[in-house]
Amino acid sequence: MDNFDSFFKSVTTDPSTNTQISVLGQTKNIKAMAHLTTINYLKNQGDYYKIIFTDESFLLIIPADKEIYYAPSLLGKASEISDDMIGVEETIKYNGKEYYLANKDDYQFVLKLLVGSPLDIEGECRFSDYFPKEGPKEFLSLGWLSKTGHRVDINCQIINIDNINFIK
């Protein structure tokens, strides 16, 4: 079993708000965790997990690709990107970087809420994903919560498994 498989098994086996994970040397407590998929991911039987920590940072785990993404905070709304640009503009500039449209007009839904309340983690939302034209692997996901219509943008970067440890 490799490091990813070991971490994934540990974090998905009976997770709780008492579960602690070290990310980049900082101990974090899980606030909420959900098993998710999207309409486009379903075509490939894909799924992923989001973990929101009590400090509002989060991990996105994609088992099929054995990839983990991290962001130190939730964006809410990327103010320089207007609603009418999302899923329409082929390229978007954010924080001085150019991103291209990679996943247009998708829809996320929850397969299972594992930790926390449905109010602690984004659930169903409509979104489009943008990937950087160059540089490290990351993505900019821009969208709206189905429940409120509020923007729920995220920008996360791939993180090496060596920078993540399951504590308990």
Gap between the Cα atoms of 142 and 128, Å rounded: 6
**DSSP at 47:** -
Residue 135 structural domain: 3-166
For residues 80 and 164, what is the distance between their CA atoms, to the nearest angstrom? 31
pTM equals 0.92
Share of the chain above pLDDT 70, in %: 99
Looking at residue 1, its pLDDT comes to 41
Rounded distance, CA 55 to CA 28, Å? 8
Residue type, 166: F
pLDDT of residue 123: 86
**Number of domain units in the chain:** 1
- Is the backbone of residue 49 left (phi > 0), alpha (psi -120 to 50) or beta? beta
